[in-house]
Structure 1
Amino acid sequence: MTTTQDVDHSEQVLLGVFGRPRTMLERGEGCTVYDTDGNAYLDLLGGIAVNALGHAHPALVEAVTEAAGRLIHTSNFFVTPAQVELADRLLALAHAPAGSKVFFTNSGTEAIEAAVKLSRRTGRTRIVAMENAFHGRTLGALSLTHKAAYREPFEPLVPEVVWVPFNDVDALRAAVDDNVAAVFIEPIQGEAGVVLAGTAFLQAARDVTREHGALLVLDEIQTGVGRTGQWFAHQRHGVQPDVMTLAKGLAGGVPIGAVVTFGPGPSGLLAPGQHGTTFGGNALACAAALAVLRTIETDGLLVNAEKVGEHLQGAVAALGDPRIVETRGEGLLVAIQLTDEIAPALSAALERDGFIVNPVRPDALRLAPPLILTTEQVDDFVAALGRVLADTPQPSTQPVQEQPAEERS
Structure 2
Amino acid sequence: MNNEIQSAEENLIRVYNRFPVVLDHGEGMYLYDTDGKEYLDFAAGFAVTGLGYDNKELNETLKAQIDKLYHTSNLYYHESCGEAAKELNRVSGMDRVFFTNSGGEAVEGALKSARRYAYTKGTGRYEFIAMENSFHGRTFGAVSVTGHDSYREPFEPLVPGVKFAKFNDLDSVKALVSDKTCAIILEPLQGEGGINLATQEFMGGIRKICDENGILMICDEVQCGMGRTGSMFAWQGFGTRPDILTMAKAIGNGIPVGAFAMTEEVAKYSLQPGDHGATYGGNPLACTAVKKVIEIFERDNIVGHVNEVAPYLTKKLDDLVDENDCVVRRKGKGLMQGIEITKPITEVNRRCVEGGLLVIQAEGNVLRFVPPLIVEEKHIDEMIEKLKRALAD
Shorter-chain TM-score bucket reads over 0.9
Aligned to 1:398: none
Deviations 1:85-132 (A, max 9, x none): 111111111233xxx211000000001111111111113211100001
Secondary structure, in 3 states, of the residue corresponding to 1:178?
coil
1:79-90 correspondence to structure 2 within 5 Å: 79-90=77-88
Give the one of 84, 97, 101 matched to 2:96.
Answer: 101
Aligned to 2:388: 386
Look up the equivalent residue of 1:87 and give its one-letter code.
A
Look up the equivalent residue of 2:283 and give its one-letter code.
N
Show structure 1 runs of 4+ deviating over 4 A.
Answer: none
User: TM-score, normalising length from structure 2?
Assistant: 0.95
Aligned to 1:113: 108
Out of 356-365 and 61-70, give the one that drifted further. Answer: 356-365
Aligned to 2:41: 43
> CA–CA distance in 2 between the matches of 1:321 and 1:119?
46
Q: Is the 8 A contact 1:178 1:213 kept in 2?
A: no
1:197-276 correspondence to structure 2 within 5 Å: 197-276=198-277
Deviations 1:133-175 (A, max 9, x none): 1100011111111111211111111001000000001111121
Secondary structure, in 3 states, of the residue corresponding to 2:10?
helix
Q: Is the 8 A contact 2:193 2:364 kept in 1?
A: no
Q: Is the 8 A contact 1:242 1:266 kept in 2?
A: no
> CA–CA distance in 2 between the matches of 1:261 and 1:208?
18
Give the one of 305, 325, 330 matched to 2:328.
Answer: 325
Shift of 1:75: 0.9
The percent of aligned pairs where both chains have the same amino acid is 39
> CA–CA distance in 1 between the matches of 2:148 and 2:343?
19
Aligned to 1:355: 357
Aligned to 2:122: none
Look up the equivalent residue of 1:354 and give its one-letter code.
G
Aligned to 1:169: 170
Look up the equivalent residue of 1:14 and give its one-letter code.
L
Out of 3-12 and 258-267, give the one that drifted further. Answer: 258-267
Q: Is the 8 A contact 2:338 2:367 kept in 1?
A: yes
Give the one of 12, 15, 28 matched to 2:13.
Answer: 15
Shift of 1:58: 1.0
Aligned to 1:405: none
Secondary structure, in 3 states, of the residue corresponding to 2:256?
coil
Q: Is the 8 A contact 1:107 1:256 kept in 2?
A: yes
Out of 355-364 and 235-244, give the one that drifted further. Answer: 355-364
Shift of 1:81: 1.1
Look up the equivalent residue of 2:344 and give its one-letter code.
I
> CA–CA distance in 1 between the matches of 2:334 and 2:174?
30
Secondary structure, in 3 states, of the residue corresponding to 2:241?
coil
**Pair 1:19–1:345, CA change in 2 (3 A):** closer
Q: How many residues align?
A: 385
Aligned to 2:374: 372
> CA–CA distance in 1 between the matches of 2:90 and 2:239?
16
The answer to whether the aligner puts 1:189 opposite 2:190 as a matched pair is: yes
Shift of 1:331: 1.4
Aligned to 2:50: 52
Shift of 1:346: 1.6
> CA–CA distance in 2 between the matches of 1:162 and 1:170?
14
Q: Is the 8 A contact 2:144 2:162 kept in 1?
A: yes
Secondary structure, in 3 states, of the residue corresponding to 2:68?
coil
> CA–CA distance in 1 between the matches of 2:19 and 2:382?
25
RMSD of aligned residue pairs (Cα, Å): 1.3
Out of 218-227 and 299-308, give the one that drifted further. Answer: 299-308
Secondary structure, in 3 states, of the residue corresponding to 2:379?
helix
Q: Is the 8 A contact 2:326 2:343 kept in 1?
A: no
Secondary structure, in 3 states, of the residue corresponding to 2:108?
helix
> CA–CA distance in 2 between the matches of 1:267 and 1:29?
44
Shift of 1:233: 0.4
Secondary structure, in 3 states, of the residue corresponding to 1:13?
coil
> CA–CA distance in 1 between the matches of 2:18 and 2:25?
20
Deviations 1:191-239 (A, max 9, x none): 0111001111111111111111111000000011111111000111110
Aligned to 1:335: 338
Larger radius of gyration: 1
> CA–CA distance in 2 between the matches of 1:19 and 1:323?
25
Gaps of 5+ in 1: 393-409
Shift of 1:362: 5.7
1:141-180 correspondence to structure 2 within 5 Å: 141-180=142-181
Shift of 1:267: 4.3
> CA–CA distance in 1 between the matches of 2:364 and 2:230?
27
Aligned to 1:299: 300
Secondary structure, in 3 states, of the residue corresponding to 1:159?
coil
Shift of 1:290: 1.2
